[in-house]
Structure 1
Amino acid sequence: MATKGPIEEAAERKITEALEPSTLEIVNESHLHAHHAAMRGNTNPETHFRITIVSENFAGKTMMQRHRLVYGLLNEELQNGIHALSLKTKTKEEMEKAAAKQQQQQ
């Protein structure tokens, strides 16, 4: 497993402190995008992340509100290195419902 960089560590700390997630998965996908034109000449190894957050702090919020909340938490990182985020923001109940639905379909 690769060592976490400073941007990933900051994101993990900020999300954990603010949202107290029951699940937090941060995947650095920067290597998958290194060949893109926008990344040409960029040597930052922390530009693209896929983040899954399960938190009761999302209850009653729309997906847009949840994403804005996360973007607000990571504003500094977005200004200083992160080029793209893929977010999955759910409550525990929503994750359980999705898992049950997937099981029924199998």
Structure 2
Amino acid sequence: MTTTATGPVATEMLKRLNSALSPTSIRLVDDSEKHRGHGGYNPAGESHFTLDIESEAFAGTTRVQRQRMIYKALGDLMRERVHALQIRARAPGE
């Protein structure tokens, strides 16, 4: 399993995703600096992320269902701390 965490928000995101979805592979990248000067940018960082996740939990689900599962797992972080999350979610073998 591959994981990437750069700070407390990313660490909490990974903790919640691992707990809820038991991924076989997960990679979370903090892209915040690429968005400096744009809407939602937070000078403290950890506001924009890219997530690449593979989980058996996604088998037989649509792209929208997968995104909803991820947003549910992240809960209040998506409402209060994370401005943008680019998602690539797949089941094993996809």
Runs ≥4 in structure 1, deviation > 6 angstroms?
A: none
Q: Spell out the pairing of 1:50-61 with structure 2 (5 A cutoff).
A: 50-61=50-61
Higher fraction of helix: 1
Q: Distance in 2 between matches of 1:3 and 1:89?
A: 18
SS of 2:93 mapped into structure 1: helix
In structure 1, runs of 5+ residues without a counterpart are 95-106
Distance (whole Å) between structure 2 residues aligned to residue 71 and residue 3 of structure 1: 18
1:11-62 deviations in Å (ceiling 9; x for gaps) = 10011111111100000000000121x246x323010000011001000110
Structure 2: tracts of 5 or more residues without a match? none
Alignment partners' CA distance in 2, 1:29 and 1:62: 26
- The one of 14, 21, 26 equivalent to 2:16 is 14
**Counterparts of 1:35-46 in structure 2 under 5 Å?**
35-36=37-38, 38-39=39-40, 42-46=42-46
The two structures, once aligned, show a CA RMSD in angstroms of 1.7
d(CA) in 1 for partners of 2:5, 2:52: 19
State the aligned residue count: 91
TM-score (norm 1): 0.79
Superposition TM-score, scaled by structure 2 size: 0.89
> Which one has the largest radius of gyration?
1
Percentage of identical aligned residues: 32
